[in-house]
Structure 1
Amino acid sequence: MTKKKKKSRIYIIWIVNLCLITAVVAFFVWYESVPDVSPEKVLKTYMAHISNREYEQMYEMIDAGISGNISQEDFMKRNSAIYEGIGVDNIKIHITSYDKEQKEICYETSMDTVAGNVTFENNVSFIQEKGTYKLVWSDSLIFPELDSTDKVKVSVTNAERGQILDRNGRVLAGKGVASSVGVVPGKLENRDDAISQLADLLEMKVEDIERKLSAKWVKEDSFVPLKTIPKVDELKLLSLEPDKETLDEKERHEKLLEIPGVKISDIGIREYPLGEAAAHLVGYVQNVTAEDLEEHDGEGYTSNSVIGKSGMEGLFEKELKGQNGCSITIVDSNGNKKKIIVSTIVENGKDIKLTIDSNLQKELYEQFKDDKSCSVAMNQYTGEVLALVSTPSYDNNDFIRGMSSEKWNALNEDENKPMYNRFRQVWCPGSTFKPIIAAIGLTTGAIDPDEDYGNEGLSWQKDSSWGSYYVTTLHAYEPVILKNALIYSDNIYFAKAALKIGENDMESSLTKLGFNDVLPFDIKMAKSQFSNTEKIEKEVQLADSGYGQGQILVNPLHMACMYSAFCNEGNMIKPYLTYKEDAMPDVWIKEAFTKDVAQTVLEDTKEVINNSHGTGYAAHRTDIILAGKTGTAEIKASKDDTTGTELGWFSVFTTDKNMERPIMIVSMVEDVKGRGGSGYVVKKDSQVLEKWFSGN
Structure 2
Amino acid sequence: MERRLRFISFVVALVFAGLLLKLFFLQIVKGPYYRELAEKRSLRVISLPAPRGNIYDRRGLLLAGNTPSFALFVDPRLVRGEKGDAVLRRLAEMLGEDFPSLKQRYLIARRKSVADQVLLVEDLDRDVVAQIEARRYFLPGVEIKVEPRRFYPLGEAAFHLVGYVSRINAKELKRLGSQGFGPDDFLGRSGLEAQFEELLRGKKGRKLVEVDALGRVRKVVAEEPPQIGKSILLTIDSIFEKAAYDLMESRSGAIVLLDPRDGRLLAFMSAPGIDPHQFLKGFSFEEWKKVINDVKHPLLNKAVLAYHPGSTFKLVTAMAALEKGVISPAKEIFCPGFYRLGRRIFRCWRSWGHGKVDLIKAIEVSCDTYFYQVGELVGIDTLSKFARACGFGRPTGLGFPGEKAGLVPDRAWKLKVFKVPWQKGETLNVAIGQGALTVTPLQLAKFLAAVVNGGQLHTPWYVYQVFDPYGEILEEFGPRPEGSLPARRRTLRLLRKGLVAAVNGKEGTGRAAKLEKILVGGKTGTAQVVGMKKRVKSEKLPYLKRDHAWFMAYAPATKPEIVMVVFVEHGGHGGSAAAPLAGKFLKMYFEGKWPSS
Same fold per superposition (TM over 0.5)? yes
- Give the structure 1 partner of residue 394 of structure 2: 517
- Give the structure 2 partner of residue 670 of structure 1: 569
User: Which protein, 1 or 2, shows the higher relative CO under an 8 Å CA cutoff with sep ≥ 6?
Assistant: 2
1:457-508 deviation line (CA, Å, top 9, x unaligned): 111213xx2x243232316445421000001110011111111111221122
Q: TM-score, normalised by structure 2?
A: 0.75
Aligned in 2, Cα 1:584/1:656: closer, same or farther, shift over 3 Å? farther
2:55 to 164, 180, 191: 164
2:448 to 563, 579, 584: 563
- Give the structure 1 partner of residue 404 of structure 2: 526
Q: SS of the counterpart of 1:449?
A: coil
Q: SS of the counterpart of 1:297?
A: helix
Count residues with an aligned counterpart: 505
Asked if 1:456 corresponds to 2:335, the answer is yes
Gaps of 5+ in 1: 1-63, 86-150, 197-205, 218-223, 233-263
The percentage of aligned residue pairs carrying the same residue is 25
1:113-154 deviation line (CA, Å, top 9, x unaligned): xxxxxxxxxxxxxxxxxxxxxxxxxxxxxxxxxxxxxx7653
**Equivalents in 1 of 2:479, 2:580: separation in Å?**
30
- Give the structure 2 partner of residue 692 of structure 1: 589
CA contact 2:259–2:562 (8 Å) conserved in 1 = yes
**Equivalents in 2 of 1:532, 1:209: separation in Å?**
60
**Equivalents in 2 of 1:667, 1:216: separation in Å?**
44
Aligned in 2, Cα 1:177/1:322: closer, same or farther, shift over 3 Å? closer
Asked if 1:501 corresponds to 2:378, the answer is yes
Listed as ranges, the matches of 1:431-470 within 5 Å are 431-453=311-333, 455-462=334-341, 465=342, 467-470=343-346
Q: SS of the counterpart of 1:572?
A: strand
Asked if 1:70 corresponds to 2:51, the answer is no
- Give the structure 1 partner of residue 498 of structure 2: 604
CA contact 1:651–1:667 (8 Å) conserved in 2 = yes
**Equivalents in 2 of 1:266, 1:159: separation in Å?**
11
Aligned letter for 1:682? A
1:260-305 deviation line (CA, Å, top 9, x unaligned): xxxx999852111111111111111111112222222332222221
Give the aligned CA root-mean-square deviation in angstroms.
3.9
- Give the structure 2 partner of residue 296 of structure 1: 176
Highest Rg: 1 or 2?
Answer: 1
Aligned in 2, Cα 1:76/1:572: closer, same or farther, shift over 3 Å? farther
**Equivalents in 1 of 2:108, 2:495: separation in Å?**
70
Listed as ranges, the matches of 1:269-288 within 5 Å are 269-288=149-168
- Give the structure 2 partner of residue 593 of structure 1: 487
**Equivalents in 2 of 1:395, 1:214: separation in Å?**
29
CA contact 1:647–1:672 (8 Å) conserved in 2 = yes
Listed as ranges, the matches of 1:180-195 within 5 Å are 185-186=89-90, 195=97
Aligned in 2, Cα 1:335/1:633: closer, same or farther, shift over 3 Å? closer
CA contact 2:461–2:479 (8 Å) conserved in 1 = no
- Give the structure 1 partner of residue 348 of structure 2: 472
CA contact 2:109–2:120 (8 Å) conserved in 1 = no
**Equivalents in 1 of 2:382, 2:358: separation in Å?**
21
Aligned in 2, Cα 1:265/1:330: closer, same or farther, shift over 3 Å? closer
**Equivalents in 1 of 2:38, 2:332: separation in Å?**
88
- Give the structure 1 partner of residue 519 of structure 2: 625
Listed as ranges, the matches of 1:162-561 within 5 Å are 162-176=53-67, 185-186=89-90, 195=97, 208-212=101-105, 226=121, 228=123, 269-326=149-206, 346-453=226-333, 455-462=334-341, 465=342, 467-474=343-350, 476-477=353-354, 479-524=356-401, 525-531=403-409, 534-535=412-413, 537-561=422-446
1:572 to 457, 476, 483: 457
Q: SS of the counterpart of 1:175?
A: strand
- Give the structure 2 partner of residue 682 of structure 1: 579
Aligned in 2, Cα 1:499/1:482: closer, same or farther, shift over 3 Å? same
CA contact 1:651–1:666 (8 Å) conserved in 2 = yes
Q: SS of the counterpart of 2:261?
A: coil
Greater share of residues in helix: 2
**CA shift for structure 1 position 323:** 0.7
Gaps of 5+ in 2: 1-23, 74-86, 111-118, 128-143, 212-216, 415-421, 466-474
Asked if 1:654 corresponds to 2:548, the answer is no
Larger mean CA deviation between 587-596 and 159-168 belongs to 587-596
CA contact 1:355–1:578 (8 Å) conserved in 2 = yes
Aligned in 2, Cα 1:506/1:215: closer, same or farther, shift over 3 Å? closer
